[in-house]
A and B are shown apart, each in its own frame.
Chain A
Amino acid sequence: MQIKTIFAGFGGQGVLMMGYSFAQAAMFEGFHVTYLPSYGVEVRGGTANCTVAVSNEEIASPVASQPDYLVVMNNPSLMSFQTRIAPGGAFFLNSSIITGRPNRSDVDIWGVPTAEIASELGNPRVQNVVMMGAYVKMTRIVSAESYLKSLKSILGTKKKAAMEINRKAFEAGFNYIE
């Protein structure tokens, strides 16, 4: 098995953290994993993306020409990546700000209103983790426990309160989607 996911959005939406936290969770579960961020001039345009590959054997290329999953946090990212997703793959859309629908009928589409859910929790900054709740649940690549362990190691030095709100955000996203 080899699964590639692209996480994309505005810089500042925490898309690199989404990819990293997931990649680390996959590492905890003993998978081969690569994480490749966009870099350099690409970043200057204000968008960011990263590609995570997870596999039970050595990964040939960390690039995803045909990602299985696409986690998109804003409209421009949807535009630039939608044609690349593999048939039978799935979109995870931040439906709070993404107004358009992907022009693909051969894939699953999951919408998560991350802004609304995060503001119900009282912290708009955890939108990315809300999305990860939905992603982890539907893709079943890593367990919720591994993901939370990864999140904890990232927040590590910060206060307990930060982990608490992130855990809640993850659970809210996890429970939102059926």
Chain B
Amino acid sequence: MKKVFSRPRSLKSTPFHYCAGCGHSIIHRVICEVIDELGIRGNTIGVPPAGCAVVAYNYFDVDMLEAPHGRGCAVATGIKRTLPDRVVFSYQGDGDLAAIGTAETFHAANRGENITVLFINNAVYGMTGGQMAPTTLLGQTSTTSPPGRNAILDGHPIRMSEILANLEGTAYIERVAVNSAQNILRAKKAVKKAFQYQIDGAGFNMIEVLSQCPTNWKMNTVDACRWVDEVMSKTFPIGVIKDTGKGRKDAD
């Protein structure tokens, strides 16, 4: 009999510390399944961020190097340039990637660094307790936008995937979600394709994942999953944002 819920080889047995219903747990599992399926566990180096996923090395059974807050793409660049035949990925929250780390992200993309970036967009700063993120929606309340995000005072939510898609160096960018079984399957396909693109030397690729944060959204898991569909994905539409086709055809 085939076990349906077996743990991926590259996922450690440590129980997750994430809040109930948190998207990070699902995304970790998806990435580990892909690493298993591609058979790259021994060949992969990951870069976890400062953020709720800061202790990702407790879960991923691959080599990992913690980056200072926001510097994931720069740290990953250093690893990849030194060991070009390894699969290198960075895992970053929205505050990490699109606020403090904007410059590192932007320029790694522009250089076409052959790395894979997992960009976890939960529209808030999770770890520090629910402050406004660059991806916080207009009108969304947070501890630093108590009356709701106001475009004039706080700017607009940043669509990082669309912005990076404009750079010549990017090979493949897709936005996915993990709020339903169907979306998780699509997310897994996208992550697999991204790693395959890297293996094929296609250049910078990024998967943006809309990830529920029930704790700071102050919702239960069901409502949080629904909010991704009904509200969040209106500002951040799901789908392929750029695909140069530079990776192998069968990557799809």
Contacts and interface: CB of A to CB of B under 8 A. Distances in A.
Contact flag (A, B; Cβ within 8 A): yes
Interface of A: 44-45
Q: In the A-B complex, list the 4 residue pairs whose CB atoms are closest, starting with the nearest.
A: A44-B19, A44-B17, A44-B215, A45-B17
Secondary structure of the B side of the interface? loop
4 contacts: A44-B17, A44-B19, A44-B215, A45-B17
A145 B17 CA distance: 43
Contacts of A44: 17, 19, 215
A125 B17 CA distance: 28
A172 B215 CA distance: 34
Interface in B14-47: 17, 19
A108 B83 CA distance: 64
Contacts of B19: 44
A45 to B, nearest CB: 8
Nearest to A43: B129
A44 B55 CA distance: 14
Contacts of B215: 44
A12 B78 CA distance: 45
A38 to B, nearest CB: 13
Nearest to A45: B17
A44 B17 CA distance: 8
Contacts of A45: 17
B124 to A, nearest CB: 14
A45 B215 CA distance: 11
A44 B128 CA distance: 11
A44 B213 CA distance: 12
Contacts of B17: 44-45
